[in-house]
Amino acid sequence: MSDKPETKQFEPTIIGFTCNWCSYRAADMAGTARMKYAPNVRLIRLMCSGRLDPMFVFKAFAGGADAVLISGCHPGDCHYINQNYKAMRRFQLMKRVLAQLGIEPARLKLLWASAAEGAIFASEITKFVEEVRALGPLNFNATGFENQPKVEHKEVPA
């Protein structure tokens, strides 16, 4: 890409979803405390991780994201009682679907971060970026599956 300097390493693009109460505030806290992390994640604020429609995740992959981060309050700390458990279940299902689509499930990460855990939020993002960098660019494009290598259809245990 022309407006970017020549980089030796692959810089993944990651879409991140946060809830309004814990994980977005963890990001705020990482900011106020000037903690440094990799610039590859672009965050979208939802009210709750329970709002996360799986469609959003697939849309992000289809649109060119190399990975997706989902973050919310710790189990038991949800601002809306227990909606983050729903996010957790959807996360498991989405990983299976991704596997069937031939996308490495490791490209989807779930991260619990309380409003006080800016440091964890920052370090986990940097870690995730490294992991995605190791996986390489997502070989998948929005126009369809024609260019995809044949995916072996494996039964995913329930």
Partner 1 sequence: MEKKEKIGVYVCHCGTNIAGVVNVGEVSTWAAENLKDQGVVIARDYKFMCSSLGQELIQKDIKELGLTRVVVAACSPHLHEATFRNACKGADLNPYLCELVSIREQSSWVHTDKVAATEKAKALISGGVSRVVHHEALEPLHVPIHPATLVVGGGIAGIQAAIEIADAGFQVYLVEREPSIGGHMAQFDKTFTTLDCSACILTPKMVQAGNHPNITLLTYSEVEKVDGYVGNFVVSIRKRARSVNEKDCTGCGICWEKCPKKVVDNVYEVGMGTRKAVYVPFPQAVPKYPVIDRENCTYYIKGTCKACEKFCPTNAINFAQEDEILNIEVGNVILATGYDAFDAHRITQYGYGRLANVFTSLEFERLSNAAGPTGGNIVMRDGKTTPKVVGIVHCVGSRDKNYNEYCSAICCMQSLKFAHLVHERTGAEVYNFYIDIRTPAKGYEEFYHRLLEEGTHFVRGKVAEISDAVRLPGEEGKLIIQVEDTLTGNQLRVPVDMAILSAGLEPRADAKEVAKKFGISCSADGWLIERHPKLDPVSTVTEGIYIAGCVQGPKDIPASVVQGAAAAARILGKIQQKEVLLEPVRASVNQDQCSGCRICNNVCPFNAILFHEDTMVSEVNPALCQGCGTCVAACPAGAISGTGFSNLQILSQIDGLLMLNIPRKEAVV
Closest contact distance (angstroms) between CB of 80 and partner 1 is 4
| Contact flag: residue 51 with partner 1 (CB under 8 A) | yes
Strand ranges in the chain using DSSP code E only, listed in sequence order: 14-18, 41-45, 67-72, 108-112
Contact status: 52 vs partner 1 (CB under 8 A): yes
User: Does 137 contact partner 1 by CB under 8 A?
Assistant: yes
129-133 own/partner pairs: CB under 8 Å, 24+ apart: 129/12, 129/14, 129/37, 129/38, 129/40, 129/41, 130/38, 131/106, 132/12, 132/14, 132/40, 132/66, 132/67, 132/106, 132/107, 133/9, 133/10, 133/11, 133/12
Told to check if 43 binds partner 1 by CB under 8 A, we report: yes
The reply to whether 92 sits near partner 1 by the rule CB under 8 A is no
Hunting for tokens 């990460």 — which residue is that? Answer: 109
Binding residue for partner 1, selected from 23, 60, 109, 110, defined by CB under 8 A = 60
Tell me the window of 54-62, 91-99, 103-111, 149-157 that interacts with partner 1 (CB under 8 A): 54-62
Question: Which residues in this chain contact partner 1 in the complex, by CB under 8 A?
Answer: 1-5, 11, 13, 15, 21-22, 24-25, 27-28, 30-32, 34-37, 39, 42-48, 50-56, 59-60, 63-65, 76-77, 79-83, 86, 90, 114-117, 122, 137, 139, 141-142, 147
